[in-house]
Structure 1
Amino acid sequence: MVQLKSKSATVDIDAGELVSFLVDGHELIHQKGSPGWRNADTEMFPIIGPVNEAGYHVQVPRGNAVQDQHGLLRELEYQLISQAGDAAVFVKKYQAGTPVNNSKYPEKSPKPRLMWPYGFGFEKSFLLKGNTLEISFIISGERDMPFMLGYHPAFKLYTKTPTLVANEREISLDEVLDVGSRAYQVKDCTRITLKDEHELTIETEGFGQFMCWTEVRNMICIEPISFYPYSVNQRELYLGFQHLKDTDAVFKVRITA
């Protein structure tokens, strides 16, 4: 377990996963074991969304890649490469074409292994300054590699009627629940405020929009995304790809309470 501290906040990171963000003693992060979701945060890469209706294949220039829900990055393990009192950096690396065991198999998927025909490096860094936690993602790899990126944190809810404020509009918890598993899309947005017992704000760079998901009233996932996967047919997910250029792709999320 890695712990970061400031005068007013404490962050706990377990193998690259943000499992606690305490600000003045108030827990912001959904706790594992509580109803709703088995994780606290994860990343969606190199695809976002379901692929079951496409036979678990995603079309890329090098053929069809075998992927499952939200991609294969979550099946890889983070390595801690640096740590300080207020910062930590984790990395995952993948060699092109390497089969990766699918944790969803066989209960939730017919595919025992996943594969991506491109090699990449994925860096996730944390920096705590006061009441703000900045999480940065740096993607490196082969030029023109297609990818999508989504960050999937889950926040703990305390009141019965929390609201989200995005683009000067309020979104109720019921509106998110009503959308179900597809997740509620918030277009053209780089900032969302969650108003609950305590207030927190999420600001992003590089993503461009959000989707929000929950199936319970004690937590909500507020997910910065580069592409909303339900805007196209699953067989056309390739329409949402960005492509690596000569420099690394950088995305940032700042959580302030």
Structure 2
Amino acid sequence: AQSLNLQIEGEERTTIHRTSGTGENRRDHYYTSNCTILKLDTPLANFGHGCIKPGQYEFPFISTLPSNIPPTMRENDFESHCEVRYSIGAHLVQPGGAGGLFSSITKSWLRASPKELNIIGKPQPAGVIAGGIKLPPETESINYCCCFNRGTMTLESELERAILSPGDAANVFLRCRNDSTTPAFGVQAHLRETITWRAGGHQETKSRLIGQQFLSADSCPELSPLMRLPQKYFGDASYNPLGDALNRSQRRNLSFFVSR
């Protein structure tokens, strides 16, 4: 043998399942796509004379992986699925011909079975994590029987961090206002993870709930209904309920925990 090599491979795989026809004419169609993320083949030990003496050997090693590779993951939706997987293995390289294409030959019977390698996502730099996602204020008209206006309700929200990892806590800041004669029971915030994958011109999406929090109207006085609509709601096009509503409301915080 010429050398003992360490091999680390990473691959992204997607499969999308579709059907056509019904009954006996039903057909299953599978669309797949594979993409190599990482392929490392590094010598752990070189054998000068091409010969390994009988015995038992250990070859400790340290290998640095690229910082921009995605972590191990898998998601499925029935028979459609996507995954990022890594494996690690070792093989012996035998010297071959004098040069060119056959300068080294790897014999399959000299290759150890690769083992699955779990890659954990690298923590993001503090400057990146500090950035948040701010959603602009939205105002909805509250109508009765489609045409009788009962005023408006306004909501503004902001997610403290744009990047979350398992085990992190996430804060959502809210400002809301009820400028209508209709009571509101509270504000409910949902934090969801959505994964989209593609193959063969098709697309699949899977969404799951990470966490939800409810802010009761009892602890949020600004959600109390008005006894009557202000006169300026009628015939005054210059009135801006969005700006007035949020200027008088308090910024509130809801906390989420991202499970591992």
Give the TM-score normalised by structure 1: 0.22
| Structure (1/2) with the larger strand percentage | 2
Larger radius of gyration: 2
When normalised by structure 2's length, the TM-score is 0.22
